[in-house]
Structure formats: structure tokens, C-alpha cells
Amino acid sequence: MKDYLPAPDLLAGRVILVTGASTGLGRAASLAFARHGATVALLARNEAGLDAVYDEIVAAGGPEPAMFPYDLAAADDRSLDTLAGTLAQHLKRLDGVLHSAHQFYSLTPLELQTLEQWQTLMRVNLIAPFALTRACLPLLRQSPDASVVFTGETHGHRPSAYWGGYAVAKSGLETLTRIWADELDAERTLRINTLIPGQVATTLRTRTHPGLPADAVPTADDLMPWYLYLMGIDSRAVRGQIIECQP
């Protein structure tokens, strides 16, 4: 898939919501989606970061994006329904959601992880993606070809020591993907998958593997063919899959 060559207008006319859009893979995906014609709804808690991505998209000649400063750790049904309503009012449609926002503390033994940390990890990494998708379902169902992509994690797919609540939350996304894909099986215009990026040169990777040289792993841009493929029409038959960029 790294050799996938998307058409320049692959996402023309589409509206795609990206969470965690201010940094890392979310930022790279927002820029890539816009380059291929999408109007991107940028969501993150860092408003200054959103401003920067907004300016990059506009400077590159992409469709004018929309910005939604929002803290997923504080999400509830009412505010998410309001967010979905705002998307419908201002952008009129929704053809895709990329869940790239995440919460991570540090690599520590389970016995040192607290209840409060686990509650936040579950809320941001698992519960919020579920609840935001649920709130957006009416809009997504109106699209002739809608795609929801959850961002998984290697250590959630294959658990290992010290990843704790983060890995547990990310593993839950895989189960969520399979359940939802099964429930939506008859709705051939809406698909849900989980993409596992693997090791990528982001700030998260720097925190978890500080001794690994940056040039030893792919950049976020290197993985964009996967993101474009799953968000575009070429992946229309791919549903309920857990996909590793670097198996």
C-alpha cells in the first residue's frame, strides 16, 4: 500500500473530520486530505496548532478548512451532538472521520498506573472515538461513500509490558471496529476500519523510544498512502479490518 498512487482529486467534494489534527499523524493526514480535494474539519484541543494547520492548507491552495477547538477528555453526549449539528449546519455533509487524537502518559508498570490515568486513557482513546462516531452517524449515512478510520496501536494489537491502559484502550478500538462493521454490514455506503501506523517519527515515538534515531522510522508523510486509500473510494470494499501499515 505504500506504493498506492491516489488520484489528485481522490477526495474532491468530500468533507472529512480529523481529530488530533494539530500535530503528528492527524496534522499530516489533514494536509494530505486537503491536497487531494477534501474540505477538512480540524478538531483538536490546541487552538494555536489548529490555526497553523489551517494556514498551511490555505497557503497550499486547498479548500478552506473548518476549525473545532475541542477537548475530547471533557466530551459528553450533549456537546458531541452539538458538534455534529454544527458540522451539518456549516459544512452540509460528512464523508469521513479520522480518529487520530490520543492521550498517553508514559511507559510504566501496571502497579504504578492510577485509576484517574486509566479513566482519562479510556475516555480519550476509546470512549470519545465511539461517542463522536455515534453522534456523526446521521451525517455519515447521508454520504454515498463514507469511511471511519480509528487509529490503533501496535501494543494494543500485540500487548506487551508497560503499555498498560493505553494499550488496553487501543485494543478496544479493534473490538469496536469489528462489532460496528458487523452491525453496519447491510449499509454498503458506510465502512469502519482500524489502521495501526506502527513506529512513526512523531513526538509520541520520541517519548516511548527516546534512543531511536528519527531517521530509523518512517515519517508521518510516508504513511499517507494508507490514510488516503482508506478514506477514498478505492477502499470501498474494505470494512471491519484491522490494518497494520508496518506488519
CA dihedral 89, 90, 93, 96 (to 10 degrees): -120
pLDDT of residue 109: 97
Q: What is the pLDDT of residue 219?
A: 86
Q: Which domain CATH number covers 34? A: 3.40.50.720
Q: Which grid coordinates belong to 62?
A: 486547498
Residue spans of the chain under pLDDT 70: 1-2, 201-216
Closest among 156, 157, 174 to 165, alpha carbons compared: 156
> CB 128: neighbour CB atoms within 10 A?
23
In a domain, 158, yes or no: yes
User: Each residue of 37-90: pLDDT tens digit?
Assistant: 999 999 999 999 999 999 999 999 999 999 999 999 999 999 999 999 999 999
The reported pLDDT for the residue numbered 207 is 61
- Whether 2 is in a domain gets the answer no
Q: Is residue 209 part of a domain?
A: yes
**Structural domain contains residue 121:** yes
In a domain, 151, yes or no: yes
Q: How far apart are CA 47 and CA 75, in angstroms?
A: 17
> Residues with catalytic annotation?
166
Does residue 109 sit within a domain?
A: yes
Decide if 1 is inside a domain.
no
3-state secondary structure 77-127: HHHHHHHHHHHHHHHCCCCEEEECCCCCCCCCCHHHCCHHHHHHHHHHHHH
Q: Kindly state the DSSP code that residue 147 receives in the 8-state scheme.
A: E
Nearest to 246 by CA among 207, 210, 205, 206: 205
The Cα-based distances of 129 to 98, 126, 172 in angstroms read 9, 6, 11
pLDDT of residue 214: 63
Specify the pLDDT at position 200.
78
Is 8 domain-assigned? no
pTM above 0.85, yes or no: yes
Q: What is the CA radius of gyration of the chain?
A: 17
Q: How far apart are CA 63 and CA 34, in angstroms?
A: 6
Number of domains in the chain: 1
Which residues span the domain enclosing 72?
15-244
The reported pLDDT for the residue numbered 247 is 72
